[in-house]
Amino acid sequence: MSVIFPPAAVGVLGGGQLGRFFLQSARRQGYRTVVWDPDPMCPARMDSDVHICLPYDSSDAFKEFSNLCKAATIEFENVPSLLLSSLSSKLRVSPSANAVEICSNRILEKSFLKSNGFPVVDYCEISSEEDCRLVPSSMFPAILKTARMGYDGRGQFTVLDSSALLEAWLSLGVECVLEKRLSSEMIEFSVVTGRLDSGQVVLFPVTRNLHRGGILCYSSTICNIDNDVTDQLCHIASLIAQRLYYVGVLSIEFFYDRSKLYVNEMAPRPHNTGHYTMDAMSYSQFDCQQKILCGLEVFQPRKLNDAAMVNLLGDGFSNGVPDWSSLLNSGGRLYIYGKYDARPGRKMGHVTWSGVPEYILDASIEFYRDFYNLEDR
């Protein structure tokens, strides 16, 4: 793959925080930056030389984007895969339309994983009333998830029996998967990988993650689990990137329940749980995304420190912008994304602590409890 050098322009489809961090990384290295996002206030506009503020089906936008950019990537998986394949006839695009199609549809994703021998939670496809009726009672309690467009727990319903399933499915009326719900002791992990065109895979360290109501709120490189488990996660993550013939950054979420590992889902892009890489690694997940896109060499990233991260969801802004003084004095690194409307559940920013485990655990857990008004962990 030929190298694309600065000051060529690189572009991103989607202008949220992930797009913004990607453009920051590219800009720092001298690339020109372009974002295509129909939202005039999207965060990534602040780090772009050009913001194409038009819908994703606009032919004018397509022309402008493909004339400006030498290479492009995505920040969210719900980009129309047709758009990605059309773009790829004009400029370098990674990841591929095919990989994005698989990752953006839970039915394709699960059947890819299952047919390649990766462990997934018991599931079935639901696209009719008949499918609802055929679900065996052993599947319940279960979680009904829309096949497409779900994120941060949206489009998901816990259902306890067959009649609740039917009711939930009728209210959605779209293709879904039904997954067995794992126990409350279930632990979540994720791994961010990068795979180059040459087939080389790099891995960022595993993080252990905590979700509230389906949304990530806390993540740390301190996993408190046997090395065997984290080794296995890395092995599976690397194999998945290989089997997909993936080029770019691929993030993989895992569940660990009663000593069994499951692959939850894949995201064809950097991941919220990989934000710590900006503060605690030799290079970040966004640097990795940019280097792979431009055909540059990438070496296995080195961990400089352990790290913990707390997501700043809109809920914590209900009384206006919080007072950051004690946080900043305690060494937390604050990232505010530049969104104006602090709706509950909306990711407004995050904080990272990097250093020795005792310090980062104490500082992050204290801040986490405070920010979310929690009595205990």
Backbone CA torsion sign across 263, 265, 266, 270 = negative
Q: 279 — phi, psi (to 5°)? A: -115, -20
CB of 301 to ligand ADP, least distance (A): 24
Q: Does residue 109 touch ligand ADP according to CB under 6 A?
A: no
Query: Cβ atoms within 10 A of the Cβ of 231, count?
Result: 11
Q: In the chain, helix, strand, coil percent, each to 5? A: 35, 30, 40
Residue 37 binds what, of ligand ADP, Mg ion, none (CB under 5 to 8 Å, by partner type)?
none
Q: Does residue 121 touch ligand ADP according to CB under 6 A?
A: yes
Q: Does residue 151 touch ligand ADP according to CB under 6 A?
A: yes
Residue 75 binds what, of ligand ADP, Mg ion, none (CB under 5 to 8 Å, by partner type)?
none
Of 141 and 331, nearer to ligand ADP (C-beta) is 141
CA distance 223 to 29: 33
Of 55 and 213, nearer to ligand ADP (C-beta) is 213
Q: Does residue 186 touch ligand ADP according to CB under 6 A?
A: yes
Question: Which residues on neighbouring strands pair with residue 261, listed in sequence order?
Answer: 256
CA geometry: angle 4, 40, 81, nearest 5 deg: 55
114-120 contact pairs (CB < 8 A, 24+): 116/240, 116/243, 118/236, 118/239, 118/240, 118/263, 119/260, 119/261, 119/262, 119/263, 120/262, 120/263
CB of 278 to ligand ADP, least distance (A): 21
From 74-82, 142-150, 196-204, 363-371, give the range in contact with ligand ADP by CB under 6 A: 142-150
| Helices then strands, each counted (H, E), the chain | 12, 18
Q: Does residue 146 touch ligand ADP according to CB under 6 A?
A: no
CB of 126 to Mg ion, least distance (A): 19
Question: Which residue is associated with the tokens 């692959």?
Answer: 263
Question: Amino acid identity of 145?
Answer: K
Find the binding residues for ligand ADP in span 206-265 (CB under 6 A).
211, 214, 253, 264-265
Binding residues for Mg ion, rule: CB under 5 A, are 253
Of 78 and 85, nearer to ligand ADP (C-beta) is 78
From 30-38, 151-159, 329-337, 346-354, give the range in contact with ligand ADP by CB under 6 A: 151-159
How many residues bind ligand ADP (CB under 6 A)? The answer is 17
Element spanning 130, H or E: helix 129-133
Residue 369 binds what, of ligand ADP, Mg ion, none (CB under 5 to 8 Å, by partner type)?
none
From 165-173, 175-183, 336-344, 361-369, give the range in contact with ligand ADP by CB under 6 A: 175-183
Binding region for ligand ADP (CB under 6 A)? 121, 143, 145, 150-153, 179, 181-182, 186, 188, 211, 214, 253, 264-265
